[in-house]
Structure 1
Amino acid sequence: MDKSPKLSAKKSRIRLLHQYYSYTGFYAFVKSSLGKVVVPISLFIIGLWLVHLYVIDFHDLFTSITTTYSPIVILSVFLATESLLGLVPPEIFIAWAGKTDTPIFYLSVLAFLSYLGGIISFFMGKAVSKIPSMKAYFEVKMAKHMKMIRKWGGFLIIVGALLPIPFAMTSIAAGLIHYRFRNYLLFGLLRFVRFYLYALVIFNIF
């Protein structure tokens, strides 16, 4: 059977999607978002390195944390931060995982909790959408995120899962517009990829 018509149709669909995301500004959004976070992340890493050299040894710090606080406490704090707008950089917790006796296990737990935190944020968005006053407030505060997820759907969730963009915000916006939950779960799995890449490239725990 000649598959060329199917291949041509597939190529045409990919080309149309590419044109759509180009015209609607998706690529410009990703470029702009990366540009906004590259400098802060670079400064954050340099700052950590300087603090490690001149102020406190992070090995000693995280060793102290692991002996002072139980993993349950640390992981609970992480889940809370990932569910509420992601205010604490996950890199700090990845660094903590790297100093434990079983770094890959705790890294996997962190990735799962981040994924779970996104799901919690998604349902927070759905719950808020049922309260008129709260919905009106969030529609104003998150107008940009809601507009983008209506426009780009799953691709924005993919970007939020992979890149240093607040995943909780994207998840809340998805819940507010009642984005299909099954698709959200699928695209959100890329959160695991981000955590393993960060650990491999930045903290080298493998």
Structure 2
Amino acid sequence: MNDKNKKPNRKSHLRLLHQYYTYTGFYSFLGRSLLKAAPPILIFVAILLGIHFFVIDVNTMLLYITENFHPVAVFAIFFASESILGLIPPEIFIAWCGKSASPWGFLAILATLSYLGGIISYFVGRGIASIPSVFVYLEVKMAKHIKNMRKWGGILILVGALLPLPFAIASISAGIIKFPFGSYLLYGALRFVRFAIYGALIFGAL
């Protein structure tokens, strides 16, 4: 009897969530964000193909980086990038992992650094929220992101963690609105899933 009562309630809850995300424009926002993310990814792929066919074989380039740069230095550059708005596409570093002595081990380190970089971004947001002058400035600059975070919260962090969208910006916005840290850690952990999927795809292509 109790089980029968739970199923309709859950279905009703999911329907309400779907209606909320529809009415608040979440799905259209997601579509626009993916369309905006597509050109940089296509440009990156085009540049990579151009380098591969007209300058140097990509595999040779990755092997050169692997043999001539200490992994700690590469990880440090990646961590700095992930902590400061994700300036360098993670796919470059994932491809580098594929040519390392331990591809999946290096990828696990990469995913952990990305996750930690997001946490740093979250606390940057918390710090910003405690400095009135900086907060007022960024509240204008990041008005759309902050507004969206207040509307959609965890689902926006989840999307930033999984999809090719700015995870650092989602993390900063979460910090600014003081989104519960425990919940942030839970949603942000899906960053590991993204790296596992991208790793499998890129390692298979190399």
Identify the TM-score tier after normalising by the shorter chain: over 0.9
1:148, 1:56 → 2: CA distance?
Answer: 43
Q: Any conservation in 1 of the 2:94–2:202 contact (CA below 8 Å)?
A: no
Superposition CA RMSD, Å: 1.4
Deviation at 1:46, TM superposition (A): 3.0
1:80, 1:32 → 2: CA distance?
Answer: 28
Counterpart of 1:185 in structure 2 is: 185
* 2:135 aligned partner, one-letter code: K
Q: Any conservation in 2 of the 1:79–1:117 contact (CA below 8 Å)?
A: yes
2:198, 2:33 → 1: CA distance?
Answer: 18
* 2:189 aligned partner, one-letter code: L
Counterpart of 1:87 in structure 2 is: 87
Q: How many residues align?
A: 206
1:102, 1:185 → 2: CA distance?
Answer: 27
* 1:67 aligned partner, one-letter code: E
1:80, 1:2 → 2: CA distance?
Answer: 51
Moved more, 108-117 or 62-71: 62-71
Counterpart of 1:162 in structure 2 is: 162
Q: Deviations over 1:52-110 (max 9, x none)?
A: 12211122212221222111111011100000111111111111111101100001100
Identity percentage over the alignment? 53
Q: Deviations over 1:20-46 (max 9, x none)?
A: 000000011111111122233133223
Q: Any conservation in 1 of the 2:145–2:170 contact (CA below 8 Å)?
A: yes
Counterpart of 2:100 in structure 1 is: 100
Q: Any conservation in 1 of the 2:95–2:202 contact (CA below 8 Å)?
A: no
Deviation at 1:13, TM superposition (A): 0.7
**Where in structure 2 are the equivalents of 1:9-158 lying within 5 Å?**
9-158=9-158
SS at match of 1:88: coil
Q: Give 5+ residue unaligned stretches, structure 2.
A: none
Q: Give 5+ residue unaligned stretches, structure 1.
A: none
TM value normalised by structure 1: 0.96
1:78, 1:15 → 2: CA distance?
Answer: 40
Deviation at 1:3, TM superposition (A): 1.8
* 2:37 aligned partner, one-letter code: V
Displacement over 3 Å in runs of 4+: none
Deviation at 1:193, TM superposition (A): 0.8
* 2:87 aligned partner, one-letter code: L
Q: Any conservation in 2 of the 1:122–1:175 contact (CA below 8 Å)?
A: yes
